[in-house]
Structure 1
Amino acid sequence: MALDHGELRRVDAYWRAANYLSVGQIYLLDNPLLREELRPEHIKPRLLGHWGTTPGLNFCYAHLNRVIRERDLDMVYVMGPGHGGPAAVANAWLEGGYTEVYPHITRDEEGMRRLFRQFSFPGGVPSHVAPETPGSIHEGGELGYSLVHAFGAAFDNPDLVVSCVVGDGEAETGPLAGSWHSNKFLDPVRDGAVLPILHLNGYKIANPTVLARIPEEELLKQLEGFGYRPLVVAGDDPVYMHRRMAQVLDEALEEIARIQRVARSSGLEGRPVWPMVVLRSPKGWTGPREVDGVAVEGTWRSHQVPMGQVRANAEHRRMLQEWMRSYRPEELFGGSGAPVAEVREWAPAGARRMSANPHANGGSLLRDLVVPDFREYGVRVSGNGKQSSEATRVLGHFLRDVLRRNPDSFRIMGPDETASNRLAPVLEASDKVWQAQVLASDEHLGRHGRVMEVLSEHLCQGWLEGYLLTGRHGLFNCYEAFVHIVDAMFNQHAKWLKVTRGLPWRRPIASLNYLLTSHVWRQDHNGFTHQDPGFLDVVLNKPAEVVRVYLPPDANTLLSVADHCLRSRDYVNVVVAGKQPALDFLSVEEAVAHCTRGIGIWEWASTGAGEDPDVVLACAGDVPTLETLAAADLLRQLFPELRVRVVNVVDLMRLQPPSAHPHGLPDAEYEALFPVGTPVVFAFHGYPWLVHRLAYRRAGHGDLHVRGYREEGTTTTPFDMVMLNDLDRFHLVMDVIDRVAGLGGRAAGVRQRMVDERLRHRAYTREFGEDPVEVREWVWPY
């Protein structure tokens, strides 16, 4: 519908108020309503922030407020342009949502002064759209993820509309380019809607943007090719732009409502073509046209701070004052500094305000996951290490029933690898969601599926983050080597969790759970490119209060760990488990006890009847555990008098002291497992220096010798792979001989036998293309 004169006046007033507040945040320490002439002491000593994208974000917000009120929409607002923080804060304050969570930032002149002062100021709030910002589910510190977060928020939220502003600089990133395809996974029956708004203001920090400089016909064809119907709003005249934006939003929302109505009543034939908005407006719109004789508005120079010498330059102060007064603040804020009724009432009320929408504080909506008793899915173990199973296939049956019991709050994401990772049982409970063409030869594809596969780790991660941040649960399974693709996304999410732990109004959300399989030690067929356990190192760079790493050695321990992770809150849990047939070491009851401890002695694999050991064989990870037990077996045969203790680590954080991690093992307990002065040979799943890093503060650290992946790999057999990295049983025995006092001299012949065994096994693989039967079929013999 067309805006009438009164609505035009009110939307413009709201927009001007948001712009005024945004400029004030960037520049002012004091004198927020310009009741006196600006003086140097009113100006911040360091001018930080980004103006260029902000007026466009405020423009969208103002117009979305209208359609929320008129249509009673449940809507959240995702701001893709990373440093649009002034806009997010300004609108939250205008709506009152900001004051509700920060009562000292009152909606009056003093509150406005505090609002301005805190922005990009020591002890204040960041310049980007951060966790501290009410209404935000998207960390603006890194570009490329806004649209995928928006779709993640919309899944299983049938009444939600997610408006998402995509910056034209952000649109150049690989993740954002892939995110346009998320519409092929959006179910108009079960899911909500996403309204992308591509904001073309022409420039990044110092360069033009690609999408703003290609012919409009080419741009629209590209967006149509992605499956959208673009509606264009372009210009710089406020009156025209307000009228056109209102018209376009009404058209887009009518189309969204029609798509959902038809799909939910009689069903859709084919995939819907969802509407989107292309907004073309000047960079730094309504700001200074020129500064010092150089064009600013509509150029890259308005990207950050249009005038940088305001404190020292009287002419710049005069220009700032004129700029801010051009918004006519006396019409927008009353005598107390509070927004006038015309501005306040333009915003929706209560939870319909985008700054107060509960979906943007997902923990407030979170329901406990309904989880079956994982013990019922456990493998029956007739004896420690005597039978084999595929750990992730066993887990798949458990996850299948988690899906069944949580039909609108649990999803599994993975890059085309659900079956490859042996999780195929979940497809008994749900298809893989798919809105595009389906052929007769396809399997397990369906419109209403909740297993999500797309060959983009970025999309899997982003969908899951959006899903979790709006109050649901999920799991991301991935080949271990390629989860590195989302290192930066993991970083941003971990930072979000750390910050929100200090914000009482942010309720805890379900943990981000990674299942990393097809791991380094069993990528023998794919080779060197697929062999990399380094994600663990990335994870452990993050704050201890938000990260957890688990290395379950068999199927039953994987079940126990998975149950714990799915129930947890506000963590990133990384679980590494193999998918190939592997020995079952522990019964379900033993697995529960062992995982509860996180680290422990396996008495059944140790010798010495509880006496102090001569050597400790430690292990973390399924393949390192196998090789450690095989080495323990050899040591029993070769040195029956040697007291060998086997210690298995499930929770990697137990290696740290309590001062470094909440799961850390107290020194007395650590030293009881690893007596000072006793050599420790540690077989580790990842890069060996990571264990040294975790345990460096421990007494006896000099006794610790770690074997792990040392960047040696190729296409070869599983046992040759561990031999390439000196993690094999024979080398572990050699490490014991080299480190146990008094053993080296009398064991020289044994050591030579171990060297010969390695050579024999390598020659066998080169001749026959597989490992010798005594390796392939080894089981714990006692």
Structure 2
Amino acid sequence: MRDTPVRAADTGAPAEEALRTLDAHWRAANYLSVGQLYLMENPLLTEPLRPEHIKPRLLGHWGTTPGLNLIHTHLNRVIKARSLDAICIWGPGHGGPAVVANSWLDGSYSETYPDVGRDAAGMARLFRQFSFPGGVPSHVAPEVPGSLHEGGELGYSLSHAYGAAFDNPGLLAACVIGDGEAETGPLAASWHSNKFLDPVHDGAVLPILHLNGYKIANPAVFARLPEDELEAYLRGCGHEPVFVGGNDPMTVHRALGEALDSALDRIALIQHEARTEGLRERPVWPLIVLRTPKGWTGPAEVDGLPVEDTWRAHQVPLPAVRENPEHLRQLEEWMRSYRPGELFGTDGRPRPLVLASVPEGERRLGANPHANGGLLLRDLPVPPLEGFAAEVAVERPGATSHEPTRVLGSLLAQVMTDTADRRDFRIVGADETESNRLEEVYESTGKAWQARTLEVDENLDQHGRVMEILSEHTCQGWLEGYLLTGRHGLFSSYEAFAHIVDSMVNQHVKWLRVTRRLPWRRPVASLNYLLTSHVWRQDHNGFSHQDPGFIDHILNKAPEVVRVYLPPDTNTLLSVTESVLGSRDHVNVVVAGKHACFDWLTLEQAREHCARGAGIWDWAGTEDGTAEPDVVLASAGDVPTQEVLAAVMLLREHLPELAVRVVNVVDLARLLPRQEHPHGMSGAHYDALFTTDKPVIFAYHGYPWLIHRLAYRRTGHSHLHVRGYKEFGATTTPFDMVVRNDLDRYRLVMDVIDRTPGLAVRAAAVRQTMEDTRLRHHSWIREHGNDLPEVLGWKWKPR
């Protein structure tokens, strides 16, 4: 059963005879790892190595590999002995050969890729493909069965492991953390994830801190700490560390086996007590510190320089095997030191001795369905939007207003209620759920919290499914691990601080892009961002909190994966959210304000508009349909949309003969050509909306040059003029923010006059009126501390 706790051991540490099988498996994995680094042919060394057997380009990493093989070998034993449902997150970015080798040994690799059979021919293919054109990468990439974390960029392994464990009560997520990775900021913050792990409803995480002394060229900080200082640090993070180390294989095998059994017994006890007696206080979870030499079992010395247990073992210890006969001799001696004849038959198949401790079926680390989360994914029950939508009369757009994210909070609260039993939806964010007006979710679930509580605390819940920690990296890592193991979620963030996870989302996009080309990888729920408290409404915080550039970052990424939505009102936000929560294999960015804004569209209209992604609001414009418009006013975003509509009213008042078309864009990718993005518009469709030769004044939520970049190939691009955020921020009034950045209604009217042929002279007086109003605004706010009365009291008036 999925909610069965980690089983306690039926016996003690591995018996002496079992150590021999573990060592055989470890040697086999090491042999396969070296072969992947070096060989194209002669995989079983049935003849002496020759230069033509060696790859022309030696790419990959040896240093961390033997330690990872050791851990994998021992995880196999405890998984089989205890019938554990377990995955492993391999944090060291350069351990690809190890996990590929172990997947081949347990058979999951050949099941996934039948052309790489578990025999001599398959071994040859396994070796040749590694870090080879048309083959597999050197990291633990999406192509590797059993992986859900590439590790190419360091710092995220532990948060991914905890994300996998949340709401997975029967799962053990082992997590190997490299000593280089342990130096990163994201990893340092993620140690605190144990304050959020619920031993009743969540699985367990077993961190294994792998210390082999060096990074690429420097000592690793954690490896050089005195043991008492390192122990104090880890205990201070809330763990009970067990230290294992040495360079004698059998001694280390015995010690690691005992440490794993002790740790798993401790986890089983914690879970049993919590699930039968209830939570009393936060558990102290076990952690293993494993010290092994870097490049263990490899060449001790090359060209007169020490290699094993030094930084020189990081990549390929013998770099010139094709050209240097001595290097070739050392490589063959190295590979034969594993005694491959004992490990593989003449047909290349692993001998029974090697496979004695390997689990079977889905218990294998390479075959566990949690590492292919789409196999476990269920559709999210999103309730009908009609029960949450703002009531808008078709004939009276803008007559009412709502706080969009507050209304969304009601919808999300219902989703939380409807998933209370299945527990497969979470909201993460950096201490901002209530600030972002989503607090209604607390009526359905509290904030996950296992640490000490005080009487003044509110909404803390040991079993809660809202996750808040003031580390965007940790929030992102939790959610990625949660999604990749088959669940759903939402990341709510202040817009400006989504940039903190720029690099993390970049890695996730790459992961999704690769998995889309792997038919055995099932689609997972999309990574959904809600960016609010946005650039135009930062009254409390000012310039430091004003940055809409996360959108630019996202739209640079793989077009088949990324989506950006800018709903202009409450009902479009609901419609967009319904869509993104049901999507798969995407990264969706939704930008919406939390402050009250006008309701422009009915729910039916909002759904139609969101389905189009961009469209004409004929009720807002002044064109009569008998001829082309004189000018197009376009918008993307809630505040820009309001300013466009206010500009239309001014144009109706001062230039009633002008034919104005209003276009609103919800899905930014619609501006791209169809051949560059799945949501892109055809040229004919774009020209029909924006015309080919009329001025287009585009009021945009973010940096204006993004719109130009998206539309630069369009026929009418030379007529496109974009207004947006130009880094003129401050703690000031809401309307002053748009004035400072030339996005205000008066500036938009001036742009229409400046860019519409024939208006510059004829409407000079109107333009001057607009400029005078902007100057009056400047004086008014400094005297009164608030915006002009006509701005504060503005409402949309239909024609």
**Fold-level match, TM-score > 0.5?**
yes
Task: Provide structure 2 residue ranges, at least 5 long, that are not aligned to the other structure.
Answer: 1-11
Correspondence for 1:69 among 74, 80, 89: 80
CA contact (8 A) 1:525 1:717 kept: no
Correspondence for 2:519 among 485, 488, 504: 504
**2-side partners of 1:684 and 1:2: how far apart?**
64
**2-side partners of 1:617 and 1:166: how far apart?**
53
Matched, 1:191 2:191: no
Shift of 1:736: 0.2
Correspondence for 2:463 among 426, 448, 459: 448
Q: What is the match of residue 480 of structure 1?
A: 495
**1-side partners of 2:519 and 2:457: how far apart?**
48
Q: What is the match of residue 4 of structure 2?
A: none
**2-side partners of 1:117 and 1:399: how far apart?**
50
Q: What is the match of residue 583 of structure 1?
A: 598
Correspondence for 1:240 among 251, 256, 264: 251
Correspondence for 2:424 among 406, 409, 419: 409
**2-side partners of 1:346 and 1:183: how far apart?**
30
CA contact (8 A) 2:87 2:173 kept: yes
Correspondence for 1:394 among 398, 404, 407: 407
Partner of 1:522, secondary structure, is: coil
Q: What is the match of residue 155 of structure 1?
A: 166
Deviations 1:184-215 (A, max 9, x none): 00000000000000001010000001011111
Partner of 2:676, secondary structure, is: coil
Matched, 1:273 2:284: yes
Partner of 1:538, secondary structure, is: helix
Partner of 2:675, secondary structure, is: coil
**1:223 partner letter:** L
**2-side partners of 1:532 and 1:597: how far apart?**
28
Shift of 1:665: 1.2
Matches within 5 A, 1:181-260: 181-260=192-271
**2:484 partner letter:** L
CA contact (8 A) 2:263 2:286 kept: yes
Higher mean C-alpha displacement, 382-391 vs 740-749:
382-391
Correspondence for 1:634 among 626, 645, 650: 650
**2:717 partner letter:** H
CA contact (8 A) 1:524 1:721 kept: no
Matched, 1:328 2:343: no
Partner of 2:547, secondary structure, is: coil
Matched, 1:518 2:529: no
Shift of 1:776: 1.6
Correspondence for 1:19 among 24, 30, 36: 30
Q: What is the match of residue 60 of structure 2?
A: 49
Deviations 1:239-270 (A, max 9, x none): 11000001010000000000000000011311
Q: What is the match of residue 571 of structure 2?
A: 556
**2:402 partner letter:** S
Partner of 2:254, secondary structure, is: helix
Shift of 1:386: 1.9
**1:75 partner letter:** A
Matched, 1:764 2:780: yes
**1-side partners of 2:282 and 2:669: how far apart?**
47
Matches within 5 A, 1:679-758: 679-758=695-774
Correspondence for 2:691 among 667, 675, 691: 675
Shift of 1:3: 2.4
**1-side partners of 2:375 and 2:522: how far apart?**
6
Q: What is the match of residue 373 of structure 1?
A: 384
Correspondence for 2:637 among 611, 621, 633: 621
**1:419 partner letter:** E
**1:210 partner letter:** V
**1-side partners of 2:517 and 2:604: how far apart?**
37
**2:419 partner letter:** N
Shift of 1:387: 1.7
Partner of 1:506, secondary structure, is: coil
**1-side partners of 2:759 and 2:714: how far apart?**
26
**1-side partners of 2:685 and 2:75: how far apart?**
58
Q: What is the match of residue 8 of structure 2?
A: none
Matched, 1:115 2:122: no
**1:762 partner letter:** H
Partner of 1:331, secondary structure, is: helix
Higher mean C-alpha displacement, 502-511 vs 27-36:
27-36
**2:688 partner letter:** A
**1-side partners of 2:689 and 2:494: how far apart?**
33
Shift of 1:357: 0.2
Q: What is the match of residue 324 of structure 2?
A: 313
Correspondence for 2:437 among 422, 438, 449: 422
Deviations 1:695-732 (A, max 9, x none): 11111111111001111111111111001110000000
**2-side partners of 1:370 and 1:728: how far apart?**
41
Matches within 5 A, 1:657-672: 657-672=673-688
**1-side partners of 2:189 and 2:662: how far apart?**
47
Deviations 1:92-145 (A, max 9, x none): 000000001111001111111110001001111100010001000102210000
For the aligned residues, what is the CA RMSD?
0.7
Shift of 1:753: 1.1
CA contact (8 A) 1:28 1:116 kept: yes
Shift of 1:421: 0.2
Partner of 2:759, secondary structure, is: coil
**2-side partners of 1:429 and 1:2: how far apart?**
45
Shift of 1:36: 0.8
Shift of 1:429: 0.4
**1:164 partner letter:** C
Matches within 5 A, 1:596-615: 596-610=611-625, 611-615=627-631
Shift of 1:345: 3.2
CA contact (8 A) 1:387 1:779 kept: no
CA contact (8 A) 2:13 2:261 kept: no
Shift of 1:5: 2.5
Matches within 5 A, 1:563-574: 563-574=578-589
Q: What is the match of residue 288 of structure 1?
A: 299
Partner of 1:90, secondary structure, is: helix
Correspondence for 2:504 among 479, 489, 495: 489
Shift of 1:483: 0.4
Deviations 1:371-409 (A, max 9, x none): 100122001124211221100000000000011111210
Correspondence for 2:111 among 91, 94, 100: 100
Matched, 1:37 2:48: yes
**2-side partners of 1:2 and 1:448: how far apart?**
34
Shift of 1:295: 0.6
CA contact (8 A) 2:21 2:356 kept: no
Give the TM-score normalised by structure 2. Answer: 0.97
Deviations 1:271-297 (A, max 9, x none): 000001000110111111111111111
**1-side partners of 2:621 and 2:748: how far apart?**
15
Partner of 1:625, secondary structure, is: helix
**1-side partners of 2:761 and 2:95: how far apart?**
69
Shift of 1:344: 2.4
Q: What is the match of residue 362 of structure 2?
A: 351
Deviations 1:665-711 (A, max 9, x none): 11111111111111100000011111111111111111111001111
**1:206 partner letter:** A
Aligned length in residues: 782
CA contact (8 A) 2:429 2:467 kept: yes
**2-side partners of 1:3 and 1:743: how far apart?**
88
**2-side partners of 1:523 and 1:90: how far apart?**
52
Give the TM-score normalised by structure 1. Answer: 0.99
CA contact (8 A) 2:428 2:479 kept: yes
**2-side partners of 1:83 and 1:212: how far apart?**
18
Shift of 1:524: 3.4
